[in-house]
Amino acid sequence: MKHLNPLIGILLIACIGLFAFTFQSGGSIKGSITPASAAKLVWAVSPTDTLKAVITGGSFTIHHVKTGTYKIMIDASAPYKDFMKDGVQVTEGQETNIGEIKLQK
């Protein structure tokens, strides 16, 4: 019985520690490009974070994006020009759809 009290105390502290933190999944950014084969990677860049995703079939989704304002950059394949869009706002728990992006030659 003497060893039970410290064990209960340790378990109680561990449980409190586990529930003291919340997991924030962030938001996401999605969009599409035309023509579908003109690019392979998309980047979301903020002053504190940089994320990338693969463009598949002309569509992309960047998951687990922290809340904030991002610059979206698409790394286009020749003869198409790279694309940049400033001011993409991401909100916790929300999907930000930037729509269709038509890459220029």
pLDDT digits (tens, 9 = 90+) for 26-54: 899 999 999 999 999 999 999 999 999 99
pLDDT of the residue at 62: 96
35 or 10, higher pLDDT: 35
Distances 7 to 2, 15, 25, 53, 93 between C-alpha atoms, Å: 10, 12, 33, 46, 38
Query: What's the mean pLDDT in 86-103?
Result: 95
Residue 72 to residue 65: CA distance in whole angstroms: 12
Token pair, residue 30, equals 């999605």
pLDDT of the residue at 1: 47
- pLDDT reading at 10 higher than 90: no
Token pair, residue 40, equals 């392979």
Residue 25 main-chain phi, psi, to 5 deg: -80, -15
Q: What is the 3-state secondary structure (H, E, C) of the chain?
A: CCCHHHHHHHHHHHHHHHHCCCCCCCEEEEEEEECHHHEEEEEEECCCCEEEEECECCEEEEEEECCEEEEEEEEECCCCCCEEEEEEEECCCCEEEEEEEECCC
Map out the domains of the chain as residue ranges: 25-102
> What's the CATH code, domain 25-102?
2.60.40.1120
